[in-house]
């Protein structure tokens, strides 16, 4: 049975030049994958014809025309109410109608969340969808949620996030019993505010592999599979990390370009730097999941290149293949029965 992924071909900073080529690369990777490119039909056809591999996969490619594009500057309300034939919305409609198993977009995050929630609705028992993404660590990826979709979440909502994140990681990373930590100002049991304490108690009484409170630096140690937090803290942690990475990259380049000697050292160090970049390259971890919806939706970075966007398609494929939505619904129902 094939896995069908709808791709918002017009979304992101680079549009067809990235989304079309990444989609064809994904078809090379998965024999049972079919893609439906959504956007301006003429533009998509032109981009496909410019890809030398198109003819090999033409029978696994569909095109759905959409007359509008959601801009990065569009508010969620404008996107939702006034652009009903946008490539993003049409791609999500395909999931709603059962014509696609998952959707991928590099477009406006707020618009994507609003439209996806309006069209697909949330799984029974889910208060709010959460954004989860992988981040590089010393030993491999750690998954963090929520990364900004929800502010001031209740303890019961954070429990839902933990359940959803655990199920997603279990099925996409092949980890039998993912460890779950709760982001806090300290790892000691008495640390944190009332919400942290209450959430921790809920997690202790769940069937999850809850290991307790974790601190910000634990995100990158690689000894925890899933880290749960409110979207306020999660987004700050994410943006701070991205800022540190940019600063680090800036100072390395500046140091290597000081003089002729440091430029020679840079040439010698190239293999080491390439290895380092391959381990922390954010493109390898591109693809944030919108968990809790009645359908798989994956958000790519807006400035993703072809290989980065490919990672987002892979995430969507894996979640659809593992039937993540059904599994979240089943386990969430079971957990909520326990906590009644």
Three-class secondary structure assignment of 77-141: HHHHHHCCCEHHHHHHHHHHCCCCCEEEECCCHHHHHHHHHHHHCECCCCCCCEEEEEECCCCCC
Residue with more model confidence, 202 or 140: 202
CA dist list (Å): 258 to 254, 263, 265, 340 = 6, 7, 11, 64
Amino acid 34: pLDDT:
97
Of residues 125 and 49, the one with the higher pLDDT is 49
Identify each DSSP E strand in the chain by its residue range. 3-8, 33-39, 61-65, 102-105, 130-135, 142-145, 179-183, 209-214, 226-228, 288-291, 296-299
* pTM across the whole model: 0.89
> Is 198 a residue whose pLDDT tops 90?
yes
Rounded to an integer, the average pLDDT of 229-242 is 87
CATH of domain 1-126+292-340: 3.40.718.10
Instruction: Return the DSSP state at 301.
Output: P
Nearest residue to 155 via CA among 186, 196, 123:
196
Are 173 and 224 a contacting pair, CB within 8 Å? Answer: no
The mean pLDDT of the chain is 90
pLDDT of residue 190: 80
Average pLDDT, integer, range 3-21: 95
The two three-digit tokens of residue 299, written as one number:
């958000």
Q: Name the pLDDT band for 287 (thresholds 50, 70, 90).
A: confident
CA atoms within 13 A on the CB side of 82: 8
pLDDT at 138 over 90: no
Distance of CA 113 to the CA centre of its chain: 12
Confidence category of residue 273, pLDDT binned at 50, 70, 90: low
Res. 89 pLDDT band, cuts 50 70 90 = very high
CB count in 10 Å sphere of residue 148: 21
User: 296-331: per-residue pLDDT in tens?
Assistant: 999 998 889 999 999 999 999 999 999 999 999 988
DSSP state of 31: T
Please say if the pLDDT value at position 242 is more than 60: yes
pLDDT bin (cut points 50, 70, 90) of residue 140 is confident
Q: What is the reported pLDDT for 274? A: 72
Q: Where are the domains of the chain?
A: 1-126+292-340
Which string of DSSP letters, residue by residue, matches 280-300? H-GGGG--EEEETBSSEEEEP
339 has a pLDDT exceeding 60: no
């Amino acid at each position: 049975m094939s896995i069908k992924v709808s791709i918002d071909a017009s979304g992101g900073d680079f549009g067809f030049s990235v989304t079309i080529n990444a989609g064809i690369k994904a078809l090379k990777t998965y024999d049972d994958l079919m893609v439906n490119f959504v956007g301006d039909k003429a533009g998509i056809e032109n981009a496909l014809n410019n890809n030398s591999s198109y003819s090999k996969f033409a029978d696994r490619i569909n095109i759905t025309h959409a007359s509008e594009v959601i801009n990065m500057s569009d508010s969620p309300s404008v996107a939702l109410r006034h652009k009903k034939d946008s490539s993003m919305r049409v791609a999500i409609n395909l999931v709603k109608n059962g014509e696609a198993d998952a959707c991928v977009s590099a477009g406006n995050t707020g618009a994507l969340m609003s439209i996806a929630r309006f069209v697909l609705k949330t799984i029974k028992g889910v208060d709010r969808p959460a954004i989860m993404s992988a981040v590089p660590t010393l030993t491999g990826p750690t998954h963090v949620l929520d990364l900004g979709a929800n502010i001031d979440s209740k303890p019961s909502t954070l429990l839902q996030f933990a359940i959803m994140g655990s199920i997603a990681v279990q099925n996409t990373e092949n980890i039998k019993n993912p460890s779950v930590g709760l982001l806090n100002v300290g790892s000691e049991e008495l640390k944190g505010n009332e919400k942290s304490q209450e959430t921790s108690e809920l997690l202790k009484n769940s069937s999850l592999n809850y290991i307790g409170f974790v601190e910000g630096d634990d995100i990158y140690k690689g000894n925890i599979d899933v880290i749960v937090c409110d979207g306020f803290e999660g987004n700050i942690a994410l943006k701070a990390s991205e800022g540190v990475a940019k600063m680090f990259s800036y100072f390395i380049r500046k140091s290597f370009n000081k003089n002729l000697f440091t430029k020679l050292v840079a040439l010698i160090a190239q293999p080491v730097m390439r290895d380092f970049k391959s381990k922390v390259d954010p493109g390898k971890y591109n693809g944030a999941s919108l968990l809790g919806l009645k359908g798989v939706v994956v958000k790519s970075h807006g400035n993703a290149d072809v290989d980065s966007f490919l990672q987002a398609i892979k995430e969507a494929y894996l979640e659809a293949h593992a039937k993540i939505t059904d599994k979240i619904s089943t386990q969430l129902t079971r957990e909520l029965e326990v906590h009644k």
